[in-house]
Amino acid sequence: MAELNAMSAAVVQLNCQDDVTANLARVRHWTAEAARAGARIVTLPENFAFVGDEAGKRSLAEEISNAAAGPIVSALREAASKEGVYLVAGGMPEKSGDADRPFNTSLLIAPDGSIAGSYRKIHLFDVDLADGTSLRESRATKPGPTAPVLENAIPEVDGVPLGMTVCYDLRFPELYRMLERKGARIFTVPAAFTLTTGKDHWHVLLRARAIENQAFVLAPAQTGKHTQSSGQSRQTYGKSLIVDPWGDVLAQCGEGEGFAVARLDFAYQDRVRASLPSLSHWRL
C-alpha cells in the first residue's frame, strides 16, 4: 500500500445509560453521521454499549471473534461494514473466564466488518475521589495481560499503525511510549472520565501524550449524567478531543452527544518529528 498522506478521523461523544438497545442505536446513528462527514476512522467512547451496575455489565459479556454473534459485536461489525469505515469501539465487556470479572476490551473493526485488532484494558480505576465518589473497577473487571501489548504487532488503519488504549491508561505514559516504539502514529483513548478528574486533567494528559510521542490522539468520551435503575448516578466530563503531534487541539465536541472530525496530516507529523527529533534521542 502506498504511504498515506492524510486521513479524516472522528471522535463520537455519547451519553449512554443502561439500555443496550438504545445505546447501540445511538452508535449506529453517530457512526453514520461521522461517515457522512468524511471520516475514515470513527472512534466510540468507553462503555458505548452500557453504563450501569456491575451485575448488568457482567451479564452482557460476549465472546469476541469473527465467528461470534453477540449483539454488541454484531452491531459494531454491521455499522463498520455499512458505512465503510474503520470503527474503534471504546470498551465493552468481553468474557474472560472469570464470570465475575470480564475484560474491558476495545475493538478495531475494519470496513469489511472483520475484527482487525483488540486491546484489553490494563490499568483499572480504583479510587476514592474528593467529591465522595468511590470507584472500584477491579471488582468487576479483569485487567488485560500485558504481554500482547508488549510483544504483538499493533493493528493498522489503511497502513497507519494504531496504538489502542482505554481511559485510565492515559495516566501511564510508559504505555504510550511502548506503543510509539512499535510504530504507532495514532493513539486511541476512548474514555468515561469523571467530571471531577476530567475538568482538571483530561486536556492536559491528552496533549502531553501527543507531545511526548509526536502522535495524533483520538479521545472519544462519555458525557453528562448516567443514572442506573437502582437510582445511583455518576457524571462524566465529555469534551471529546482530537489532538495533533504538536499538542494542538484540532477538534473538540461541545455539550451533549455528537461528534467532531479532523484531518490527520501525516506529512505534517513527519515534519514535526524531523524538526524536533526527540524520539530519536530516547535513551532508556
The predicted pLDDT at position 149 comes to 81
H or E element at residue 177: helix 173-181
Angle at 259 between CA 114 and CA 1, to 5 degrees: 40
Cα–Cα distance for residue pair 245/186, rounded to 1 Å: 9
Residue 94 annotated among the catalytic residues of the structure: no
The predicted pLDDT at position 69 comes to 87
Would you give the DSSP letter of residue 248? -
- Split at pLDDT 50, 70, 90, the class of 1 is very low
pLDDT by residue (tens digit) across 123-176?
Answer: 998 888 777 777 788 989 999 999 888 777 799 999 999 999 999 999 999 999
pLDDT by residue (tens digit) across 61-78?
Answer: 999 999 988 999 999 999
Task: Assign domain 6-281 to a CATH class.
Answer: alpha beta
Cα–Cα distance for residue pair 63/33, rounded to 1 Å: 28
Residue 16 annotated among the catalytic residues of the structure: no
In the block, cell 471522535 appears at 11
- 142, 167, 239, 253: which is the annotated catalytic residue? 167
DSSP β-ladder status, 186-188 and 216-219: parallel
Cα–Cα distance for residue pair 196/80, rounded to 1 Å: 33
Residue 46 annotated among the catalytic residues of the structure: yes
